[in-house]
Amino acid sequence: MSTETPLIGSYSADAAGPDLTDARVGIVTFPGSLDDRDASRAIRLAGGTAVPLWHADSKLYDVDAVIIPGGFSYGDYLRAGAISRFSPLMDKIIDAANSDAKLPVLGICNGFQVLTEAHLLPGSMIKNDHLHFVCRDQRLRVETNATDWTASFEPGAEIVVPLKNQDGQYVADEKTLDELEGEGRVVFRYVDHNPNGSRRDIAGISNAAGNVVGLMPHPEHAVEAGFGPDASAAGPVELRGGLDGLNIFTSALKKIVGSKA
């Protein structure tokens, strides 16, 4: 059964490039997911087609990529993402991500937590070192373009996207951290300010193949003029005009369309 969460308004259909609409990106909704509609909007604004996926479903409906959005799935009362990983849909996502087809998967915030709980990514997320929820416009460095979700960036490029989390402190043992660094799998790093005490300023990582990426900040909140952060890495923008998150979604859409061609 697929779900349709009620929407306020309908999304604008204009696309960055009509060719990208062939790329179908599934957006997972767990009970307690919050940024699912925002992630759908981001895919649409990047030119792709968003497909809602329901956690209890065990079909992926032939999507070309999956985004696990932010939120507090199942309330996160036990450990962020600890229950979600056991959903029927997650089994399918894990299989598809590890298959030869290497389904592109992006976990944002709670989605990143779910990916670590599902062992698609190493390490774990614990409570922020200052113990508070934090919402701020965060500068990041894109350390590598060798992933499906950063392929359109120059390595070392900086972006500003909103960050908002309670359990955002990325931790892993030193050996794992060294491996991530050595294999070029640290994808995003906090710049100027580490907002949660994450080890080595890590904001996002990938699996070895580069198709699965987890990212703590929220690129889907920096995709639409007038509703994003007040800043971009490149300099001043109009009020809430920061669009630095868009390229993450565009990267995956281009890769999908390219591989279909």
Chain residues that interact with another protein, rule: CB under 8 A: 1, 3, 5-6, 8-12, 31-32, 34-35, 37-38, 41, 56, 70-72, 74-77, 132-136, 162, 164, 166, 218, 220-221, 224-227, 230, 236, 239-240
- The nearer residue to another protein, 26 or 245, going by C-beta atoms, is 245
Is-catalytic flag, 220?
Answer: yes
Give the DSSP letter string of 173-192.
-HHHHHHHHHTT-EEEEE-S
Distance (Å, whole) CA 187 – CA 215: 8
Q: Minimum distance from CB of 35 to another protein (Å)?
A: 6
* Cβ neighbours of 50 (radius 10 Å): 24
The single-letter code of the amino acid at 72 is F
Q: Minimum distance from CB of 141 to another protein (Å)?
A: 21
- Please give the structure tokens belonging to residue 172: 């892993």
Say which residues have a Cβ less than 8 Å from residue 168's Cβ, sequence separation at least 6: 109, 125, 128, 134, 195, 196, 198, 216
Q: Minimum distance from CB of 2 to another protein (Å)?
A: 11
- The nearer residue to another protein, 132 or 260, going by C-beta atoms, is 132
Say which residues have a Cβ less than 8 Å from residue 95's Cβ, sequence separation at least 6: none
Q: Which of 109, 117, 143, 224 is catalytic?
A: 109
Q: Minimum distance from CB of 34 to another protein (Å)?
A: 3
- Please give the structure tokens belonging to residue 29: 């909704």
- Please give the structure tokens belonging to residue 142: 């894109």
Backbone angles phi, psi at 100, to 5 degrees: -60, -30
Q: Which of 55, 220, 221, 224 is catalytic?
A: 220
- The partner residues of 142 in beta bridges, in order of sequence, read 188
Q: Minimum distance from CB of 44 to another protein (Å)?
A: 10
- The nearer residue to another protein, 83 or 256, going by C-beta atoms, is 83
CA distances from 204 to 48, 125, 142, 168, 173 (A): 23, 11, 9, 11, 16
- The nearer residue to another protein, 41 or 255, going by C-beta atoms, is 41
- The nearer residue to another protein, 59 or 200, going by C-beta atoms, is 59
| Active site (catalytic) residues | 109, 218, 220
